[in-house]
A and B are shown apart, each in its own frame.
Chain A
Amino acid sequence: MAEESILTDDFLRELMNVGEVDILIGVPTLNDAATVGQVVQCIRTGLLKYFPRQRAAIVNVDGGSRDSTQDLVRAASISDLAAGTNPNALRTLHSISTSSAGSTENGAALHTIVAAADLVRATTCAIVSPNSTSIEPEWIDRLLRPVSRDNFDLVTPIYRRHKFDGLLVRNLVYPMTRAVYCKRVREPHPSEIAFSGKLASHFLEQDIWSQPATENGAETYLVIAAITGGFRLAQSFLGPKPRVDHSSGDLVLAMRQTVGVLFWALGKNFPACPANVAEEVPVMGQQADVSLEPIRVNRKRLHQMFVHGVAELQPVLDSILSSSTLAELIQAAGTPEDKFRYSDELWVRTVYEFAGAYHREVISPDHVIQALAPLYRGKTYMFLVENRDASGEEVEKNVENLCLAFERLKPYLLEVWDGRK
């Protein structure tokens, strides 16, 4: 009996019709009808403008949308059928859609996209988020060109972001990825990413697809796999990242997608890089840009959730953290808000001890991640306070200092990893 495949028969048939392509752009969706139409039209325009001679295909992997998401994607096709004809296009452009084999997890979508890219032998691949409402046709050029023309294997984006955007990435994911893997990749959990066919095939062969850790954060693992696999990396400035509203409940999901994957991946590659200083990764276009317009921030609530979390989760934290770190956190939680301090060093030790606990599975790994959330809120509060009136450069400088702290304390990670400390 044949093994179950992630590619349905209908999708395979569509891939046969697409045939070999030079460029494949994957768009994973789930009920994104509000935004996906604009995004795929932009992708289409970008392909026609910057890669008019290349054979290209847009592949949508849908997690079970109940709206018109899939139809909107299919409408981006350019063909000789009367409805789709486009005299400005030299070639047919297939825009096809499939469902990810009964799963709504993002990892399944990425798996399908990578498998499709491998089958149609795409030399340049990309994933674009269906929510990127600030996307422009130029993004396609900026993302794909380093792969298709300059032979890079992975291109991660650099955005213009508000100084209070991407806090988890700024305060944990980027600094830790940089310290552990010695590469300065600003967006280790990218919404847009480009990679070579060679990397896609390498990624497809990894035995990670059935792991719970990659169900939701496969893009993060893609970046890590590229770094550990010795592939050529680049970063490309795209433009402003659209701001997505999150409720507090999404923080745990966000942490699973990033921190969970990061910790899990560390277990596969430990110690990933012996050096203590991270290498630069070439940047195409400008460096990261920070916007400063005022936004609504509820710092008090963050502080309260930190204090509340430390108090309520003490028994759990006890099995994760060292007694000294826990004592410092308890002390910080007991301090009045106006005197609250959560130093970079304490934060780094917290994170490293959590990483070690995750690896040793002192409790369920997912519970380790959930237990980190209140502590991250405390660090976020600290970040907001320190950068309240900071300029873009000052914010970047503070982030850089945090990164240096992660790098400096790397030997501590080595100590706590196996529970020696």
Chain B
Amino acid sequence: MALQHDLLWYKDAIIYQVHVRTFYDSNGDGIGEFRGLAQKLDYLQELGVNAIWLMPFFPSPLRDDGYDIADYRSVHSSYGTLEDFKVFLDAAHERDIRVIVEMVLNHTSDQHPWFQESRSSRDNPRRDWYVWSETDTRYRGVRIIFTDTELSNWAWDPVSKEYYWHRFFNHQPDLNYDNPVVREEMWQIMKFWAEMGVDGFRLDAVPYLVEREGTSCENLPETHAVLKELRARLDKEYPGKMLLAEANQWPADLRPYFANGDEFHMAFHFPLMPRMFMGLKLEDRKPITEILQQTPAIPENCQWCLFLRNHDELTLEMVTDMERDYMYDEYAKDKNMRINVGIRRRLAPLLDNDRRRIELMNGMLLSLPGTPIIYYGDEIGMGDNVKLGDRNGVRTPMQWDGGWNGGFSSADPESLYSPIMLNPVYGYQAVNVQSQKRFDHSLLSWMKRIIKVRKSMPVFGRGTMEFLYPANHRVLAYIRELGKERILAVNNLSSSAQVVELDLKKYKGEILIEMFGKNIFPRVTDRPYLLTMGPYQFYWFRLRKI
């Protein structure tokens, strides 16, 4: 294994989120698989990412894009075999790319043998592997997550004539974590994959593991106890493996998931993401700075995970009603774009395919404190298809070239797991890897450059952050610091040129070196540091004392 052993590797990671199905089809069946993904590892290495987060690839009826798991220890036949996965894993490690897999702890598919047994009768040994009830009145008042499709968190099982609890789709019954057998089984599953060599686990839907009457059934102490136990066992047997929490909560509610550095290593900062989009539209840094001001400090060995988009809708759960209405009006005028409590669009369409805004958002993603995640296809500016159901519009095939099926598959276009993008703006002939590789000024080339710059200094991943509050509210500026390394990031959120004066007195005498062109900017003095910025422009400066 070529990877360096570093217990805090995840702090320097740049993660690429991908579903194996979407990336590359090497066998011509219209569906991407691990052999294909392995063939594209060179591309990812060249891009500069050093970790891949794989979305669920387990056997599943695929009614929730693989998050309804029917077998935790295997690979869905469409994506290859377990052997194919091992080959892919080794190939990734050879290229210094770590692999993070999904572990859906909260629920299984109703097609999972466990549930089939559990529902078969009330006396079955696996009966209490799930949460059953004679009535649907227990845990009254608990919010429904998939509001567009579900009317209740209870579903009636006609087989065993009882209700079963499900926080997500009704075909995804929740496991019962009050049952120690369930907890042991889930650990064994994690151990299976850890032993194989995966470097980390993204634990899906963790706030909902345990239920208690009279509560919101989210973020309960019992849930944290389960997770801490898992972490302790992982650390003991597989030190250096990482746990990433998927918990769509306010920062203060997320803090307990880090505990004292003995629960999760990382957690997604959900509330920050919509506020970055909001700040851009408002041309005002206020939403961004305020949410980060409210974000509590986390243990030294922990890290936030930042992202712009992912496979789900751009969630608007963690914003106020006024903010939600604003986001809908500005980013999803067409009601087709709205689903659950969010917006199902990709990055480029959200930003009107404006290259400057795309660069600015990526600039913030890669310079704010946290580990960045890039959603597959966003590095070339792929578009979305809101006409596809659920959130499938942001899960279309990767566009490799301008040829047959965009280079994704040799199969007939009708056989593809999802239609490929065709329109003149975002279609595969307009947006693809091959054409962007040819030009230095393409988005792909730019992404490679910025990732390289980011990786050149550990301060991005491991440094502290201090906001500067210039009087011009359209400019977001902050200092990142790690030991003697110091970076100044300045972002113009406005569509027009701006002037900003920064109070850098504290760093008097230091010289600013712009990190992309490496040109020298004036030395810092007692006076306000004046910068003029073009529309949506950002600067990264290194501060050097010579």
Contacts and interface: CB of A to CB of B under 8 A. Distances in A.
B469 A79 contact: yes
Interface in A72-114: 78-82, 85, 87-92, 94
Contact of B286 (A13, A53, A92): A92
A271 interface: no
B96 to A, nearest CB: 39
A17 B285 CA distance: 13
A274 interface: no
A17 to B, nearest CB: 4
Interface string B256-292: 0000000000000000000000100011111101100
Contact of B471 (A17, A20, A88): A17
Given A90-B323, A92-B286, A80 B473 contact: yes
Contacts of B326: 53, 90
A349 B41 CA distance: 95
B293 interface: yes
B282 A80 contact: no
B496 interface: yes
A392 interface: no
B322 interface: yes
Nearest to B501: A13
7 contacts: A17-B471, A17-B473, A78-B286, A85-B293, A87-B290, A90-B278, A92-B285
A17 B503 CA distance: 14
A60 to B, nearest CB: 16
Nearest to A52: B322
Contacts, number: 56
Given A53-B326, A85-B290, A90-B323, A19 B474 contact: yes
Interface residues of B, number: 26
B472 A19 contact: yes
A87 B283 CA distance: 17
B499 interface: yes
Nearest to A78: B286
Nearest to B474: A19
A44 to B, nearest CB: 15
A88 B494 CA distance: 22
Given A82-B293, A85-B290, A87-B290, A16 B282 contact: no
Contacts of B286: 78-80, 89-92
A16 B473 contact: no
Interface string B405-440: 000000000000000000000000000000000000
Contacts of A94: 473
B456 interface: no
Interface of A: 13-14, 16-17, 19-20, 52-53, 55, 78-82, 85, 87-92, 94
A16 B475 CA distance: 12
Contacts of B289: 80
B81 interface: no
Nearest to B323: A90
Nearest to B496: A20
Given A91-B282, A92-B286, A16 B472 contact: yes
B469 A92 contact: no
Nearest to A16: B499
Contacts of B470: 17
B464 interface: no
Contacts of A13: 471, 501
B471 A80 contact: no
Given A80-B473, A90-B282, A90-B323, 10 more contacts: A14-B471, A16-B499, A19-B472, A19-B473, A80-B290, A87-B290, A88-B320, A90-B286, A92-B284, A92-B473
B535 to A, nearest CB: 12
B293 A80 contact: yes
A80 B472 contact: no
Among A14, A78, A89, A91: residue with most chain B CB under 10 A: A91
A20 B497 CA distance: 11
Nearest to B473: A92
A361 B293 CA distance: 66
A16 B532 CA distance: 11
A53 to B, nearest CB: 6
B498 interface: yes
Contacts of A52: 322
A89 B501 CA distance: 24
B325 to A, nearest CB: 9
A78 B498 CA distance: 20
Contact of B285 (A80, A87, A88): A80
Contacts of A89: 286
Interface in B452-481: 467, 469-474
Contacts of B469: 79-81
A55 B286 CA distance: 13
Nearest to B288: A80
B322 A87 contact: no
A174 to B, nearest CB: 42
B13 to A, nearest CB: 29
**Top 3 A-B residue pairs of the complex, sorted by shortest distance between their CB atoms:** A17-B471, A92-B473, A80-B289
Contacts of A53: 326
Given A19-B494, A82-B293, A91 B284 contact: yes
A16 B470 CA distance: 11
Nearest to A94: B473
B290 A17 contact: no
A79 B467 CA distance: 13
A50 to B, nearest CB: 13
Among A19, A53, A55: residue with most chain B CB under 10 A: A19
Contacts of B322: 52, 88, 90
